[in-house]
């Protein structure tokens, strides 16, 4: 079991930026392409994640031509009909070149610059196929490090109509990694949050 979950160097971990949702609370805008200051939200995610690992994939179901400008592979959900973050996660596992995948949302300009390091450390100390971030007692379920062996479990979950990330996590052997700064996990989901983020640039 432990040998199976040996963690490679960060350069051999794939990063997945989840930008495949409908953003209903933002009037259906494509979140990753929303401008914040001089950059789009997905650019902030790229900037924060890129130094932490070797490969980046962007999961986007709309406006793929626009996402091409960032020069990273764009992958659309394998399951149809905007099936949520679990669908994006499964698609990332299916397309990555490595054994491990770190996922983050596209709508957080402040994600931790030690995210990958801490998730990797947790699995080194407690070998398992999944490590998930937690901040101030709240599970941050889409900030996770996932081994490719969980592809089948994800596919089964979606095939059975289950789309809740936390429910899937609880079904897996996993470890939880605590972070202290809630600001590092502030997502932009509403026009009010976007306006506040602009003030805090």
Instruction: Going residue by residue through the chain, which has 201 residues, state the pLDDT in tens, using 9 for 90 and above.
Output: 455 777 768 888 999 999 977 656 567 788 899 999 999 999 999 999 999 999 999 999 999 999 999 999 999 988 766 678 999 999 999 999 999 999 999 999 999 999 999 999 999 999 999 999 999 999 999 999 999 999 999 999 999 988 899 999 999 999 999 999 999 999 998 888 888 888 877
The DSSP 8-state label assigned to residue 110 in this structure reads T
Domains (range + CATH), the chain: 10-199 (3.90.550.10)
Please give the pLDDT value at position 90: 95
β-strand 55-60 against 13-19: which pairing, if any? parallel
The pTM of the full predicted model, rounded to 2 decimals, is: 0.93
Contact 175, 130 (CB under 8 A): yes
Structure tokens at 29: 């805008």
Please give the pLDDT value at position 201: 73
Please give the pLDDT value at position 20: 76
Give 139's strand partners: 134
Residue 15, helix vs strand vs coil: strand
CB-neighbour burial class of residue 189 (10 A; exposed 0-12, middle 13-18, buried 19+) = middle
Hey, how many other C-beta atoms are within 10 angstroms of the C-beta on 193? 15
Q: Which long-range contacts (CB under 8 A, 24 or more apart) does 194-199 make?
A: 194/26, 194/34, 194/36, 197/36, 197/109, 198/36, 198/37
Cα 80 from chain centroid (whole Å): 19
């Amino acid at each position: 079991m432990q040998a199976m979950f040996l963690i490679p160097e960060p350069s051999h971990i794939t990063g997945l930026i989840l930008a495949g949702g409908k953003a209903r609370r933002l009037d259906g805008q494509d979140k990753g392409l929303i401008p914040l200051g001089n950059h789009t939200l997905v650019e902030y995610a790229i900037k924060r994640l890129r130094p932490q690992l070797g490969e980046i994939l962007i999961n986007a179901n709309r406006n793929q031509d626009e996402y091409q400008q960032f020069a990273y592979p764009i992958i659309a959900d394998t399951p149809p009909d905007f099936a949520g973050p679990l669908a994006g996660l499964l698609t990332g596992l299916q397309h990555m070149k490595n054994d491990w995948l770190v996922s983050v949302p596209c709508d957080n300009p402040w994600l931790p610059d030690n995210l990958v390091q801490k998730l990797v450390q947790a699995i080194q100390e407690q070998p398992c196929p999944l490590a998930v971030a937690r901040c101030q007692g709240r599970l941050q379920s889409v900030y996770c490090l996932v081994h490719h062996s969980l592809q089948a479990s994800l596919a089964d979950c979606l095939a059975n109509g289950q789309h809740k990330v936390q429910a899937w996590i609880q079904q897996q052997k996993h470890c939880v990694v605590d972070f202290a700064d809630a600001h590092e996990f502030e997502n932009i989901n509403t026009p009010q949050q976007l306006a506040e983020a602009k003030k805090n640039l």
